[in-house]
Amino acid sequence: MARIPSYQELRDTPAQGTPPGSSWGVFGADDQLGSLNFIEPLKRVQAAGLVRRGAVFNLDYPVNTFSPFPSGAREDAVHTIFQNNSNHRDEVIDRYYTQSSSQIDGLRHIRNPRYGFYGAVPDEEIVEGTAALGIQYWAESSIITRGVLVDVERSRRNDGRPIQQTTADPISVNDLKAALTAQAVRLEPGDALLVRTGWSAHFLAAPMDERQGLIGNLRSPGLEQSHEMVEFLWDNGISIVAADNIALEVMPPLDTSPFRYTDDDQKTSRGVSNGGMMHRALIPLLGYAIGELWALDQLASDCAADGLYDFMLVAKPMNLVGGVGTPANAVAIK
């Protein structure tokens, strides 16, 4: 792969006609893969070499696990089994939100309020039946790479600073670096970075009234909104960043977030406002694959037991032309 500009270079000296802080054109004029371009063929070979025991860890929670959905914008799926004759069974799933459980945000998911969708794809092309930025491109390439678990929940607990699961507790770049140091693992270009916060386990153990209380009042730990965080991900060549919390980043966004725009904090009748979210830089400007609500606890326990925090990561996005997002369909293999 040709030299990739640093995030600071993308901010300071953007290519002509591209927004500052964007990778538009870095991987070609009509790029559809975004950050997945960091996964080169030899990276997949390296990942296969990390399979030592053949142990498989499912990274997906079941459909309808996160009920009620904390943002208030996604309903439970309805699964119906039917038969055409006594020897036959078929099924249909109604009201199925592809991003309601362990999932990956596609490049259609978020536009930047000022610059639009990734690569300047026009808004009118982001509709049903069109292909631009659709999840099918990621399905064709799949996500097969070296995965690295960063167990921030364990690291901060061991340091006497446990993550506060019911508050907007930001995870800093220094928190990520401290966990990596404690785990004695280094990041490499093309890696999938999996961040364990412990939030999913807390949510699933919470009584229903606490779950209900998050709707319209979402509070979750997560990655801090900062240029330093984006720089950390981009300059390390991270191909996909995923976490076990509701939005990857801390919610609600920090008051100090640099990703706010004066005229874009639109009120919404469903879900949360995107005001201040780092998604606006990661997805439409840099083409990032973002995973949310991944099941990381079993993998984390195994990594803590054997001291190995890298593994083969495989995720197969849904092959839906024009899809906005996808169930993760992810596994770690050690």
- CATH of residue 111's domain is 3.50.30.50
Q: Let me know if residue 1 belongs to a domain.
A: no
Parent domain of 303: 7-333
Q: Are 23 and 231 in contact (CB under 8 A)?
A: no
Q: Are 143 and 314 in contact (CB under 8 A)?
A: yes
d(CA 195, CA 148): 9
Identify which has the larger pLDDT, 246 or 211: 246
Tens of pLDDT, residues 234-284: 999 999 999 999 999 999 999 999 999 865 555 555 566 678 999 999 999
| pLDDT given at position 275 | 85
Q: Let me know if residue 290 belongs to a domain.
A: yes
| pLDDT given at position 271 | 60
| pLDDT given at position 46 | 97
HSE-CB of 91 using CA atoms within 13 angstroms: 7
Q: Let me know if residue 218 belongs to a domain.
A: yes
Q: Report the residue count for the chain.
A: 334
HSE-CB of 7 using CA atoms within 13 angstroms: 19
- Mean pLDDT, the chain, rounded, equals 94
Number of domains in the chain: 1
Q: Let me know if residue 193 belongs to a domain.
A: yes
Q: Let me know if residue 295 belongs to a domain.
A: yes
Q: Is the peptide bond before 68 cis (omega within 30 degrees of 0)?
A: yes
Query: How far, CA to CA in Å, does 236 sit from each of 13, 27, 52, 190, 287?
Result: 19, 16, 25, 8, 15
Taking 90 as the threshold, does the pLDDT of residue 211 lie above it? Answer: no
Taking 70 as the threshold, does the pLDDT of residue 1 lie above it? Answer: no
Among 28-42, 76-90, 304-318, name the one with the lowest average pLDDT: 76-90
Q: Let me know if residue 2 belongs to a domain.
A: no
